Structure 1
Amino acid sequence: MANWFITGVSSGLGLALARAALARGDAVVGTVRAQADAERFTALAPGRAHAMKLDVTDEAAVQVVVRTAESLVGPLDYIVNNAGRGFTGAVEETSLADARALLEVNLLGPLAVIKAALPAMRRRRAGHIVNVTSVSGLAAWHGTAIYGATKFALECLGRTLAQEVAPLGIKVTNVAPGGLRTAFSADRLPGADPVIADYAATAHLARRVLQDKHGSEPGCPDLAAQAILAALDEPEPPLVLLLGEDALHYAERELGELAAQFDRWQGYTLAIAAEAAQAAQ
């Protein structure tokens, strides 16, 4: 039996992953924001499903909740940074206050959880940290710059962390889903306000596309949860796990376009060699 700590288990992928882990007999400590969600979660598997209220932007509370989780179920085998929120809007439209708030939830919150969990994992020389990023953290899409920036940053954080903790027996996996059939794209999706008409044909499309596809996204959260469990059980689990055909499509397209840019402009790239400048003098 494994012990899990998963942020954001009220709904969506976090809840699906928690249910899948509980179904195979594991213990899960999941964080929620509301008492009603806590009661529903603990009822899933009394004695193995533990809900704790947490705002991931409260660093002191994160430390307390992680330590309490360890006292409830024992050493935490998996830490899953799933809690987060979306945001749409053009770069120019987005206030710095909204950008800071999103960074607090989507990047600094996971960082606080990681920092709280690592000391015990280092002592045991074991553990697995899982960061739920997004294909938007690999492929830029107009209208999602600030959201994507938080996920790009979380991608870098996770991959860099993997290099730092590999010698300590700790594993890291970034999970990058595409569209999942959850409440993520519902009408409550935050967005920039006021809007600027000049971005109607670019940045504003993102919100319309997300809302139009709500309820018909290509990915199933329950199957995504099963894929995550299976991947994490592999002897050498992935560093980056894309989830969904759409995620694979957009990530491969982005990488291909970047490779083409690198090739096209490599003359300028290589023209700055200091040795060549010295030889020409």
Structure 2
Amino acid sequence: MDTNRRSKRNWLITGVSSGLGRAVAREAALQGRSVVGTVRNRQDAEIFERDVPGARAIVTDLMENDAPGDVVAGALDLLGQVDVLVNNAGRGFTAAVEEASPAEIRDLFELNFMVPVAMIQAVLPHMRRQGDGHVVNVTSISGFKPWSGTGVYCASKFALEGLGQALAQEVEPFGIKVTNVQPGSLRTDFNGRSLGTSRQMIDDYADGAHFARRALARSDGKQPGDPQKAARAILLAVDAGNPPLNLLLGTDAVMMANQRIAALLLDMGRWGGVSETIGFDDPAPIS
């Protein structure tokens, strides 16, 4: 593990102004890593660099077209090489699927999915040349087990989950690892100022999908997950000789994953016979 720890020295983390991103940056710095993180404005940069000694901030709007490429180039200038990319930047969003506007959906997918894709595409040529690297995608347990009132957010994280699963297969020959981190509820500002909601609210969903907004608001500041402990778990996974592709964080995340797996197995058990009946009676030979 010590050899691997030395090789994973330089970390680039998106979205370090607060929350899990800040916690990962702090933990990485405490463990002797060199850290560059992205923030939205100069004030956040000053706070970050003061709070995380030795870390450096890049001020950018990641949703601007050239920003991910510029961030990777800037990180390479500062660090010399990037060993670990942590795609952490993102935000929550509550709405019944019917309520979300096309613009709201596009904006959410731009930040939660398109930005990580662009960051990955920008860093991979460098990682392939050095024959090593680790991409960490912060998704969500809600991307594995969606729940009412958060469908669009869950879809954006489900998309990132799928991307990471395929990416891991594509980059394995180059010595590059991928880990999808699926946090449960962490005590950050995710349920507060970082949580978006749709402009439209349909009264028919008041007793259904709107529960998500109320539940998240009630739990703000009371979430069971400790972001700093979550950060330590992420570093432990990156340092492992055989890092996980899927890293659940929190007892709630484990519970929700078990529920989703059980539901899938139940459907497969009930409908597996039907699933296997749709082939041609005399399938064409594969040449």
TM-score for the superposition, normalised by structure 2: 0.94
Deviation sequence 1:96-126 (CA, Å, 0-9, x none): 1100000000000000000000000011110
CA distance in 2, matches of 1:60, 1:117: 13
Which of 213, 217, 228 does residue 219 from structure 2 map onto? 213
CA distance in 2, matches of 1:161, 1:210: 32
Distance apart, 1:45 and its partner CA: 4.8
Which of 229, 235, 239 does residue 223 from structure 1 map onto? 229
Aligned residue in 2 for 1:36: 43
Distance apart, 1:65 and its partner CA: 1.5
Which of 14, 29, 33 does residue 7 from structure 1 map onto? 14
Aligned residue in 2 for 1:82: 88
Structure 2, unmatched stretches of 5+, are 1-5
Distance apart, 1:61 and its partner CA: 1.7
CA distance in 2, matches of 1:209, 1:198: 18
Q: Which amino acid in structure 1 is aligned with residue 233 of structure 2?
A: A
Is the 8 Å Cα contact of residues 92 and 194 (structure 2) preserved in structure 1?
A: no
Aligned residue in 1 for 2:265: 259
Aligned residue in 1 for 2:205: 199
Is the 8 Å Cα contact of residues 144 and 158 (structure 2) preserved in structure 1?
A: yes
Is the 8 Å Cα contact of residues 140 and 181 (structure 2) preserved in structure 1?
A: yes
Aligned residue in 2 for 1:151: 157
Aligned residue in 1 for 2:184: 178
Structure 1, unmatched stretches of 5+, are none
Distance apart, 1:186 and its partner CA: 0.8
- Tell me how large the CA RMSD over aligned residues is: 1.4
Moved more, 184-193 or 219-228: 184-193
CA distance in 2, matches of 1:172, 1:188: 26
State the secondary structure of the residue aligned to 2:281: helix
Is the 8 Å Cα contact of residues 59 and 112 (structure 1) preserved in structure 2?
A: no
CA distance in 1, matches of 2:52, 2:191: 29
CA distance in 1, matches of 2:282, 2:210: 47
Aligned residue in 2 for 1:123: 129
Is the 8 Å Cα contact of residues 55 and 61 (structure 1) preserved in structure 2?
A: yes
CA distance in 2, matches of 1:205, 1:40: 35
Q: Does 1:238 align with 2:244?
A: yes
Aligned residue in 1 for 2:120: 114
Distance apart, 1:171 and its partner CA: 0.3
CA distance in 2, matches of 1:85, 1:52: 19
Q: Does 1:165 align with 2:166?
A: no
Is the 8 Å Cα contact of residues 59 and 109 (structure 1) preserved in structure 2?
A: no
Deviation sequence 1:26-63 (CA, Å, 0-9, x none): 110000002111011122355x3110012222231211
Q: Does 1:275 align with 2:278?
A: no
Q: Which amino acid in structure 2 is aligned with residue 113 of structure 1?
A: M
CA distance in 2, matches of 1:165, 1:175: 18
Q: Say if 1:7 and 1:212 are closer, same or farther in 2 by CA, change over 3 A.
A: same
CA distance in 1, matches of 2:49, 2:16: 11
State the secondary structure of the residue aligned to 1:271: coil
Moved more, 188-197 or 117-126: 188-197
Q: Say if 1:277 and 1:232 are closer, same or farther in 2 by CA, change over 3 A.
A: closer
CA distance in 1, matches of 2:70, 2:194: 30
Deviation sequence 1:166-225 (CA, Å, 0-9, x none): 011000000000000000001552111221111112210011110101111010001100
Identity %: 51
Deviation sequence 1:252-281 (CA, Å, 0-9, x none): 101110111111112221111202699xxx
